[in-house]
Amino acid sequence: MKHYTTEEWSRYARQELSIEEQQEYETHLSTCDECLEKYMQGLELTTDTFPRLAEEAEAAIVESVMQRIESQTPSLSGVPEIAPKPVQRRQASQTPSFLRHPVFHYAVAAVITLLLMGTSTFQTLMDKVGSAETNIEAGPWVQEESRSSVSQKIMEKTIGVLDSIQPKHERGGTR
């Protein structure tokens, strides 16, 4: 792929190339980022050579465009203006909800505490914390003796279930 120089891109910007060359430059410009940068640099170099409009001409062009826009849009003077409705705030009710009252929150907390105390959740929690403290203070040999493995517990429960099922089969039961 051939890359063009900044001077060549300046010539392209000033339209000093033939139509075939301009089309070739345009197709190359659409695929090459490096040449796009060079084109932008060449365009900046050639901005001084472009003719400038006089301020009166600029004002005349702006005025003609604005008049054309106004003539093409329908007149809105015949349409009555609708005043926006003021935003109404929802008035707070005179009596606040009992769910927001602090006494209700204290009552709920007391009920939950009594419920947890009644189910002995706190006692079980304290027993586990106490046994954890004992295991931490005891040496590693004491911990190994007092702790049985999970697989041992599963085996004991399985044997218990099998023992409870076996006598029923001997008596002729289906279960």
Q: What is the mean pLDDT of residues 18-22?
A: 90
Burial profile 62-76: b = 16 or more Cβ within 10 angstroms, e = fewer: eeeeeeeeeeeeeee
pLDDT single digits (tens) 29-69 = 888 888 888 888 888 877 777 667 777 888 888 899 999 88
Rounded distance between C-alpha atoms, residue 162 and residue 29, angstroms: 84
Rounded distance between C-alpha atoms, residue 21 and residue 70, angstroms: 42
Mapping DSSP onto H, E and C, the string for 44-79 reads HHHHHHCCCCCHHHHHHHHHHHHHHHHHHCCCCCCC
For the chain, domain boundaries = 1-49, 110-170
pLDDT single digits (tens) 108-163 = 999 998 888 888 887 888 888 887 777 776 655 555 555 677 888 888 888 888 88
Tokens coding 44: 């900046």
Amino acid 3: pLDDT: 84
CB–CB of 45/10 below 8 Å? yes
pLDDT single digits (tens) 64-110 = 999 988 888 765 555 556 666 777 766 655 666 878 888 999 999 99
Amino acid 154: pLDDT: 87
